């Protein structure tokens, strides 16, 4: 599956093409050349041809699909206390999604070995016979150096700094391995639900705060830490120390971890960020006030970025995204403070993809790695 064949398969897998004519138009290859390669992909059982495609008059074309037996991708979205795990087909359609408790504070080796065992377990239970695993990927809740697959100076991930996550996971599988920051994967997964929006900021509001950036339709990684807004200074009174060792970072006031700490100090039993959203849904005033303040602080940081990048949409995901006052406060800050031209058609909304966004993003980037 390399070169032109991989390119054609990717166009079908991502839903951009379903006929030889569309493949020829999008790839720039001659129709005869496309037909030859499609026949090879059909013979190799990587593509199948079925039913009738979208007709524009004349004979109804048959529709090309990636074969459900072409392969599987095993992907994980790793959080501080839970991981979502999935098996996807090469088109990114989940065969199974499960959430299992885990603890990244046990360190990288224990966590990644646990993950590999969980993947093996899912494959045993859910993989159709004879369908090969083609790639493995995971998010991590910290900055990742894209050149090495190592985590670099993450907050709240003791023992993970500089750990070669991709190499360690790769030792379990002789396959392409993807390791990427969680907000980046969420952005890639979310982007497919926003057709026509080429520039997206996808905020992950969970235990931490992250932001993934889609520019001109592609993930913008920068040097690996692009979009990391958690350590922007938002106050000047040194009233809260951040996990990074500096005072007054956004994360120290507005992250799920900070909100849980503040609510626990007031006697509330909160164990995960979703508990904060649940208190807000129950109209608990202390929780609502804290979340509204968090949204305002996040919104004020985003005003700078909105003026600078001019995105088409800001999408809020993560386990705090269900708290409506968070979104309203972000909207209020951005609409009030940004330039009119930047906000005129700007949409600020909750995730359309839901909790599986990072898993779908992992599948999308992993397919690129498998076909590279």
Q: Which residues bind Zn ion (CB under 5 A)?
A: 231, 242, 244, 246, 249
Q: Kindly report the number of other CB atoms within 10 A of residue 133's CB atom.
A: 16
Shortest distance, position 233 Cβ to Zn ion, whole Å: 8
Q: Kindly report the number of other CB atoms within 10 A of residue 46's CB atom.
A: 21
Shortest distance, position 242 Cβ to Zn ion, whole Å: 3
Closer residue to Zn ion, CB minimum distance, 192 or 235: 235
- Three-state DSSP at 170 gives helix
Residue 5 and residue 19 in contact, taking contact as beta carbons nearer than 8 Å: no
Whose tokens are 């959080």? That residue is 79
Closer residue to Zn ion, CB minimum distance, 249 or 262: 249
Output the furthest CA–CA distance in the chain (Å, rounded).
71
Start-to-end CA distance of the chain, whole Å, equals 8
Shortest distance, position 237 Cβ to Zn ion, whole Å: 15
Closer residue to Zn ion, CB minimum distance, 144 or 360: 144
Shortest distance, position 346 Cβ to Zn ion, whole Å: 27
Residue 174 and residue 361 in contact, taking contact as beta carbons nearer than 8 Å: no
Closer residue to Zn ion, CB minimum distance, 246 or 352: 246
Residue 138 and residue 198 in contact, taking contact as beta carbons nearer than 8 Å: no
Q: Kindly report the number of other CB atoms within 10 A of residue 117's CB atom.
A: 11
Residue 128 to residues 74, 95, 125, 133, 285: CA-CA distances in angstroms? 14, 10, 9, 11, 50
Closer residue to Zn ion, CB minimum distance, 187 or 249: 249
Shortest distance, position 255 Cβ to Zn ion, whole Å: 10
Closer residue to Zn ion, CB minimum distance, 249 or 348: 249
Shortest distance, position 141 Cβ to Zn ion, whole Å: 14
- Three-state DSSP at 63 gives strand
């Amino acid at each position: 599956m390399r070169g032109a064949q991989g390119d054609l398969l990717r166009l079908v897998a991502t839903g951009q093409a379903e006929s030889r004519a569309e493949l020829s138009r999008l790839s720039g290859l001659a129709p005869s050349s496309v037909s030859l390669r499609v026949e090879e992909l059909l013979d190799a059982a990587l593509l199948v041809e079925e039913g009738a495609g979208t007709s524009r008059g004349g004979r109804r074309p048959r529709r090309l699909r990636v074969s459900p037996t072409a392969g599987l991708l095993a992907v994980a979205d790793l959080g501080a206390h839970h991981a979502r795990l999935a098996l996807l087909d090469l088109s990114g359609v989940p065969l199974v999604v499960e959430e299992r408790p885990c603890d990244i504070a046990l360190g990288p080796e224990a966590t990644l070995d646990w993950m590999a065992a969980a993947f093996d377990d899912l494959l045993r239970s859910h993989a159709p016979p004879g369908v090969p695993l083609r790639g493995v990927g995971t998010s991590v809740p910290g900055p990742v150096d894209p050149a090495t697959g190592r985590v670099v100076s993450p907050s709240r991930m003791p023992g993970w700094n500089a750990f070669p996550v991709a190499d360690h996971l790769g030792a379990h599988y002789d396959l392409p391995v993807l390791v990427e920051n969680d907000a980046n994967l969420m952005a890639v997964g979310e982007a497919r639900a926003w057709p026509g929006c080429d520039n997206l900021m996808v905020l992950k509001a969970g235990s931490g705060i992250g932001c993934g950036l889609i520019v001109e339709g592609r993930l913008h990684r920068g040097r690996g830490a692009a979009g990391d807004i958690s350590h922007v200074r938002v106050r000047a009174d040194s009233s809260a120390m951040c996990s990074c060792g500096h005072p007054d970072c956004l994360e120290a006031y507005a992250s799920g971890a900070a909100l849980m700490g503040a609510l626990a100090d007031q006697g509330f039993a909160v164990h995960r960020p979703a508990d904060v959203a649940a208190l807000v849904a129950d109209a608990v005033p202390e929780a609502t006030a804290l979340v509204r303040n968090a949204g305002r602080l996040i919104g004020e940081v985003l005003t700078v970025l909105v003026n600078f990048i001019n995105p088409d949409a800001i999408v809020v995901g993560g386990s705090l995204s269900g708290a409506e006052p968070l979104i309203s406060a972000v909207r209020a800050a951005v609409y009030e403070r940004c330039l009119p031209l930047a906000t005129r058609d700007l949409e600020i909304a909750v995730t359309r993809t839901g909790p599986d966004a990072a898993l779908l993003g992992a599948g999308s980037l992993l397919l690129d790695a498998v076909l590279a």
